[in-house]
Structure 1
């Protein structure tokens, strides 16, 4: 697990999450590796279009200009070879993205380099790679095809689900196995017992370290908890964050309402949730990452 006391936030991202490689990926799946390689070489001087996480990466890298020091680094991880990956680096240069480190793994999964780069977050379109990253203790999500959105300002806005993302899935397991009434009763009884941390707790803590370098209310990073919980189950969440000494800028307790329109109102640059149904609602409005973690993602016996 990465050390969140380091002085730099590190995001590892796959080339397909950063750029739209749908056409070349189609060629790979339909015509094979040789045709794919030839296509990429023939088009290596044509910039790729932005992918699902492009705007997020652009805004994160802009933080370095605001802070006048390199406090954010983006690492490219790709299954391409260095030869076929030249188009990706040419596209990075075309858009003026300050990305200098990369791992081109030549057809095999690059997930083993995530921890080696001390990454706090990994974004990919490959669900298997994301699961491997989560097993290494790194926050990770599968970027889904999402509605395109223009960056409205320079502030980077992260939105998170609670159970199985920021928190463990211990409460969600009760809900899944015993129902809403048992869940509400258990959460009320455990209101003073902090929840265990989920896979995104270290990433949220690292974000807060950057936020704390700015005067109150002036940080270029803003966070929001968007959960299906409602009162009285909200109390344990509030007290858990207080116990962790972690501040969330905004909290939405929606009581089962669809999250998408609220994420649009928050103007999230990215939203992370463990449940596919919530991700489907969210991706109609904002860039969305599915976190394949917890009881909601366990296959039935």
Structure 2
């Protein structure tokens, strides 16, 4: 059973042009707390939603008629949070979060809510949910505590050049296609801004290979409409140090994306 509530406080986006992003409410808001408190605490994905909103604000500032915008849907599968649906809705209003719709479903039916709403990106802190969504062809990113320390003024997207545009057969080709389609939409968004002071930034990281491999990846990305702001070639080195320095919100890669 899937129940959807439209947020009448927010102007609804153009369904044919918007980039649809689903986020679990447990990632945005902390569970529990005082039942007498009408406002939930901030979760790990809170800065990410602020960054998505910042991109929308800048896009509309540049062009008030812009239709290529992030459209955020909050999905609740946690039984405790479902009992506090009014609290979740009032919390988004309190924090000024631009959430278009609220979906309430069971763990068994949450995939249906993603497919019904044609979600292009699913963000969750639950690895099992991310795997299930990815298997159904919905590009998914697994969030963790690192997200809480990411900047909210700029959306930082890291691209794993070793996997996103591989030419060999993938164990999950549908997920790879979904990631490529999503990155192309973000690339079109990025083109709306100049080289500096952009609210959206692409970071390419090559874990293997040298400068030639990095150059090939840059050309391949450009052919898909994605212009990269920063590029790093690790030549087999560990990725953790660069992650802690760059602090991306999520990773575009093959299959399920995470920052581990």
Instruction: Tell whether the structures are fold-level matches, with TM greater than 0.5.
Output: yes
**Are the equivalent residues in 2 in contact too, given 1:11–1:75 (CA < 8 A)?**
yes
Provide closer, same or farther for how the CA distance between residues 108 and 172 of structure 1 changes in structure 2, counting only shifts above 3 A: closer
Output the CA distance in 2 between the equivalents of 1:44 and 1:100: 26
Per-residue deviation, 1:101: 0.2
Output the CA distance in 2 between the equivalents of 1:172 and 1:115: 22
- Within-5 A mapping of 1:8-47: 8-21=18-31, 24=32, 43=35, 45-47=37-39
Per-residue deviation, 1:123: 0.6
Larger radius of gyration: 1
Output the CA distance in 1 between the equivalents of 2:147 and 2:247: 13
Per-residue deviation, 1:147: 6.8
| 1:138 match | 138
**Are the equivalent residues in 2 in contact too, given 1:168–1:198 (CA < 8 A)?**
no
Answer yes or no: is 1:211 the counterpart of 2:190: yes
Output the CA distance in 1 between the equivalents of 2:84 and 2:27: 17
**TM-score, length of structure 2 as denominator length:** 0.75
Output the CA distance in 1 between the equivalents of 2:177 and 2:109: 24
What SS does structure 1 have at the residue aligned with 2:48? helix
**Are the equivalent residues in 2 in contact too, given 1:12–1:74 (CA < 8 A)?**
yes
**Are the equivalent residues in 1 in contact too, given 2:190–2:200 (CA < 8 A)?**
yes
What SS does structure 2 have at the residue aligned with 1:137? coil
- Within-5 A mapping of 1:59-98: 59-68=51-60, 69=64, 71-80=69-78, 82-98=82-98
**TM-score, length of structure 1 as denominator length:** 0.66
Answer yes or no: is 1:223 the counterpart of 2:202: yes
Q: Which has the higher contact order (CA 8 A, sep 6+)?
A: 2
State the Cα deviation string for residues 37-67 of structure 1 (Å, max 9, x = none): xxx7x62634322222210111111222222
Output the CA distance in 1 between the equivalents of 2:259 and 2:56: 24
Runs of 5+ in structure 2 lacking a partner? Answer: 1-14
Per-residue deviation, 1:102: 1.4
| 2:248 match | 268
Answer yes or no: is 1:256 the counterpart of 2:236: yes
Provide closer, same or farther for how the CA distance between residues 272 and 46 of structure 1 changes in structure 2, counting only shifts above 3 A: farther
Output the CA distance in 1 between the equivalents of 2:86 and 2:259: 27
Q: What is the count of residue pairs matched by the alignment?
A: 234
Alpha carbon RMSD of aligned pairs, Å? 3.3
